[in-house]
Amino acid sequence: MILLQDALEISAEFVDGGGLCADNPKVATRVNQAISRLLETDDYNFTLDRIRFFTKNNSITLPREYVAARMVGMDGTPIPLDSIAYEFLEAGPGLCRYEQLTKLVDEGTGFPVCFDVPPEGTWYLLAYSTATADTTKTIRVTSRHPVPAFDLPINRWASTEGVGISDPAISTDPCASVKALVLPDGLEGYITLYAYDPTTFQHYFLSKYHPDERAPGYRRYRLPRFDRENGVSVQLLCKKQYLPATLVTDVLLIQNLSAIKLMVMGIEQENNRDVNGAIAYQQLALGQMQKQQSNESRGIRFNFVCPQDGAEVNII
């Protein structure tokens, strides 16, 4: 597999007029920019993953590593995947309700939590980190009810097994819904967010955040037909989300060094205001990706001679 270090070494001479070492931060920035652009052009090899959910809920939220679902199956059977606007079309089904249709409906992006705050009861927000240093920071939470926005303190787990502390710092007011949140800079640990009942001490898991996340906004899908009692198994073929490679040992989402180098060269021409040169290099980069895609999916062809009439046939 191609690592970030490989792309840095082949691209350094084409960044900022050349002369930069491979470990210069500008080179990593340019390589990541090239990968981001290539990811947006097609669903290439290594950019799709299978994800399996088992749920008794009526919705599925994708992890941060994925931008969208491409195909879906429920309990082993392929089902339709409708866009966010399909229910509003004249020929569409209208609102897809429970027990109406077996399909997956796109609810769009921008959901800051994997699970919503439960509608029943009075819940406060509670955040834990795996790092002690994060306890000096706060999370900015936006909510529509009852307080529009507030700062949520971060607690430290009492043990490495994820045991909470006896008197955690929680949100000052109850929170009925989380509409947006901004995580602080410089996080050292993973943040776990709960809805918390200080009377019963019940914790309801909402989401978990990577130290590099700042303003999470996940994609969510709705299951109009689901089994609340027995649950359903949902398998998705998902497109990977662009996430910057930070370590030289990171495996790149685009596994084509030639395409990355050519896209880096195109961005260099773009920054030099050479539009034609930029377009030419970017087209060459896309051509390399298409060749790789074709080469890896073409398969092996054999020529056989038909014994009856001597005609040559291709067997794929």
- What is the crossing angle of helices 4-11 and 25-39, to 10°? 110
Tens digit of pLDDT for each residue in 237-270?
A: 999 999 999 999 999 999 999 999 999 999 999 9
Region 220-230 average pLDDT? 88
Give the mean pLDDT of the chain. 90
- Residue 19: pLDDT band (50, 70, 90) is confident
Question: Domain for residue 119, yes or no?
Answer: no
Predicted TM-score of the model (pTM): 0.84
Q: Which domain holds residue 144?
A: 124-209
> Does residue 316 register a pLDDT over 80?
no
Domain shared by 62 and 20, yes or no = no
Nearest 5 degrees, angle CA 84-CA 89-CA 93?
Answer: 85
Domain shared by 107 and 231, yes or no = yes
- Residue 314: pLDDT band (50, 70, 90) is low
Domain shared by 91 and 226, yes or no = yes
Question: Domain for residue 297, yes or no?
Answer: no
In angstroms, the CA 98 to CA 19 distance is 61
Question: Domain for residue 298, yes or no?
Answer: no
DSSP letters along the chain, please?
Answer: --BHHHHHHHHGGGSTTS---TT-HHHHHHHHHHHHHHHTT---TTSEEEEEEEESSSEEE--TTEEEEEEEEETTEE--EE-TTGGGSTTS-SS--TTT--SEEE--S-BSSSSPPPSSS--EEEEEESSGGGGG-EEEEE-SSS-SEEEEEEEE-SSTT-PPPSS----SS--S---EEEPPTT--S-EEEEEEETTTTEEEEEEEE-TT-SS--B-EEE-SS--TTT-EEEEEEEEEPP----STTPBPSS--HHHHHHHHHHHHHHHTT-HHHHHHHHHHHHHHHHHHHHHHHS---EEEE-TTT--EEEE-
Domain shared by 224 and 75, yes or no = yes
Domain shared by 231 and 250, yes or no = no
> Does residue 52 register a pLDDT over 60?
yes
pLDDT on residue 57: 87
Question: Domain for residue 117, yes or no?
Answer: no
Residue pair 138/150 in contact by the 8 Å Cβ criterion? no
Domain shared by 160 and 280, yes or no = no
Question: Domain for residue 155, yes or no?
Answer: yes
Closest listed residue to residue 113, CA positions, set 173, 165, 181, 161:
181
Question: Domain for residue 178, yes or no?
Answer: yes
Name the domain count of the chain.
Answer: 3
Domain shared by 105 and 222, yes or no = yes
Structure tokens at 235: 């398998």
Tens digit of pLDDT for each residue in 103-149?
A: 899 999 999 999 999 999 999 999 999 999 999 999 999 997 788 99
Q: Which residues contact 275 (CB under 8 A, 6 or more apart)?
A: none
Domain shared by 77 and 193, yes or no = no
- Residue 45: pLDDT band (50, 70, 90) is confident
Q: Which residues contact 236 (CB under 8 A, 6 or more apart)?
A: 50, 51, 52, 53, 60, 62, 69, 70, 71, 72
Domain shared by 248 and 236, yes or no = no
Tens digit of pLDDT for each residue in 129-141?
A: 999 999 999 999 9
Domain shared by 136 and 189, yes or no = yes
Domain shared by 169 and 202, yes or no = yes
pLDDT on residue 144: 78
Domain shared by 85 and 59, yes or no = yes
Question: Domain for residue 299, yes or no?
Answer: no
